Amino acid sequence: TGCSTGIGRALAVEYAARGHSVFATARRPEVLADIVTGPNVIALTLNVNSADSIAAAIEKVIAMAGRIDILVNNAGYGQMGPVLDVTAEQVRAQFETNIVGAIEMMKAVAPHMIAAKRGRIVNIGSISGVLTTPFAGIYCASKAALHSISEAARMELAPFGIDVVIVQ
């Protein structure tokens, strides 16, 4: 998820270069046109804040590939500013994308991985989830929450052959 820029984009390009089938996702998949360089990279529309969008993307991946081996939960953004200046709406939006979106993606792929008795979920956290910085408190809190959720999911999904990894 979140392949339009940064880490998500770089991972999609690298996985493709290593010969893996990659379903690169973005809210606006046209921004991925330059990385769709061969048959092993497919651009899909995905908004992790929309249950319908998640369901449609997972359905397409399963229809095309038959399985999901790895989910890289990278979609997110950083709400910056002093904690006292951030509105409740901004806090909700930050957590909706960085936490709820990641959880919903894990819930969408887990049944397919459980059926296969294997899989890996990689949640892109941040050192900011462990080392809080001023003027980024809301972002840091969302990443700290992602770290905790990833640890719980790691323990809960291990018996099903699913690894959950958090990247800081």
Distance CA 113, CA 105 (A): 12
Percentage of residues in the chain having pLDDT higher than 70: 100
Residue 143 among the catalytic residues: yes
Candidate list 15, 60, 107, 139, residue with the active-site label = 139
139 is catalytic: yes
Contact 50, 94 (CB under 8 A): no
The catalytic residue among 60, 77, 107, 143 is 143
CA distance 90 to 142: 12
Residue 43 exposed, middle or buried by CB count within 10 Å (0-12, 13-18, 19+): buried
**3-state class of 45 per DSSP?**
strand
Q: What is the pLDDT of residues 38-83, one digit of tens each?
A: 789 999 999 999 999 999 999 999 999 999 999 999 999 999 999 9
